[in-house]
Amino acid sequence: MARFCPYCGKPLNERSKFCPQCGKNTPNRRPSSVAVKEAGASAHGFGGEASAILTPLADATLVDRPSGLSASSAPASAVAQQQPRVSAQPVPGAAPQRRFAPATHAFISTFQQAGFGLRYGAWMFDFLITLIAMMAFTFIITAVNKRSVVVENSDLLKVGLLTFALFLLNFVGLAGSNGQTAGMRILGIRIVRTDGRRFKWRHALVRHIIGYPLSSIVLFLGFLWMLWDPRQQGWHDKLSRTIVVMAR
C-alpha cells in the first residue's frame, strides 16, 4: 500500500521515517483523514464558504490526532459527545407526591384502621343477614295467614316492621353495646369514637339511622368518600365522629 507524506503529499517509501521533500517526521495515521484535514486548513485562504464545506467533512473523517495536538483543538462535536449527560433525579428527602387512596391499614393513635375492603365485606354480611331474615318473615307470615303477603298491605307492613326491628337490633343494639354489628364481628372490626370515648347506642343511632341515608342520597357518594379521605371516614363517620378499626 502506497504511503504519502501527511504534510506535503509526496509519495514515500515503505521504510521512510522522514519525508525527503519537507524533512518532517511521518506519523502513522490514515491518508484520507490527513488529506481532508490539510484541505480544510488550506481552505481558510479561500473564504468562509470553502471552510464551511470542508470543516464538517474533516470532523467526520478525522480518526486520531498527533500526540502534540491539544484537547482544545479537537472538533466541537467530539467534545460535546464526551460531555456527561445529566439525568433528572428525584431530590433526596423530598416528600413523594400522593397519587393513590390512603393505605388499607393505617395507624391512628393506637388503633390499626380497617380498610375499605373489610368495611364493605362487613356491610355485605349485614345485608345478607337482613335479606335472609326478611325472606324468613315473609314465609312465616304466608304460612300463618295461608295467603301471599302481596295480597294484603297489612302483611307487607308486618314484614317491613319485622325487618326494620332486626335492623335496629343489629345496627343500634349490637353496635351500641360493643361497637360491632354482626358482619363486623365476623370480620373482626369495630367502631370507635375519634375522641376516645365509648361508642354508645345514641352514637349508633346517629351513625346508622341518620348517617346511612345521608351517605346513600347522592349515588352512595358518602360511602365512597372513605376512599380518598385521609382518615377513611364516610359521611356517616364524620356525622357521628367515628372511625372503624381492627378489633383487638
pLDDT tens-digit map of 50-106: 444 444 444 444 444 444 444 444 454 444 455 445 444 555 555 555 444 444 444
Q: Is the pLDDT of residue 126 over 80?
A: yes
Q: Domain ranges in the chain?
A: 3-64, 107-246
Q: Across all residues in the chain, what is the average pLDDT? A: 74
Average pLDDT over residues 212-217: 92
pLDDT tens digits, one per residue of 165-187? 999 999 999 999 989 999 999 99
pLDDT tens digits, one per residue of 71-86? 444 454 444 455 445 4
The β-bridge partners of 111 are: 108
CA angle centred on 81, ends 80 and 86, rounded to 5°: 85
**Residue-level pLDDT at 230:** 84
Residue in the structure block whose three cell numbers are 304460612: 143
Contact of 19 with 8, CB cutoff 8 Å: yes
Average pLDDT over residues 203-223: 92
> Can you tell me the distance from the alpha carbon of 147 to that of 155, in angstroms, rounded to the nearest whole number?
9
- pLDDT range class, residue 153, cuts 50, 70, 90: confident
Question: In 5-124, which ranges are E strands?
Answer: 11-12, 107-108, 111-112
pTM above 0.85, yes or no: no
**Residue-level pLDDT at 168:** 93
> Can you tell me the distance from the alpha carbon of 231 to that of 185, in angstroms, rounded to the nearest whole number?
21
> Can you tell me the distance from the alpha carbon of 134 to that of 181, in angstroms, rounded to the nearest whole number?
17
Q: How many CB atoms lie within 10 A of CB 192?
A: 18
Q: Is the pLDDT of residue 128 over 90?
A: yes
Three-state DSSP at 115 gives coil
- pLDDT range class, residue 1, cuts 50, 70, 90: low
Contact of 101 with 161, CB cutoff 8 Å: no
200-231: b or e for each residue (b if 16 or more CB lie within 10 Å)?
eeebbbebbeebbeebeeeeeebbebbeeeee
pLDDT more than 70, % of the chain: 60
36-75: b or e for each residue (b if 16 or more CB lie within 10 Å)?
bbbebeebeeeeeeebeebbeebbeebeebeeeeeeeeee
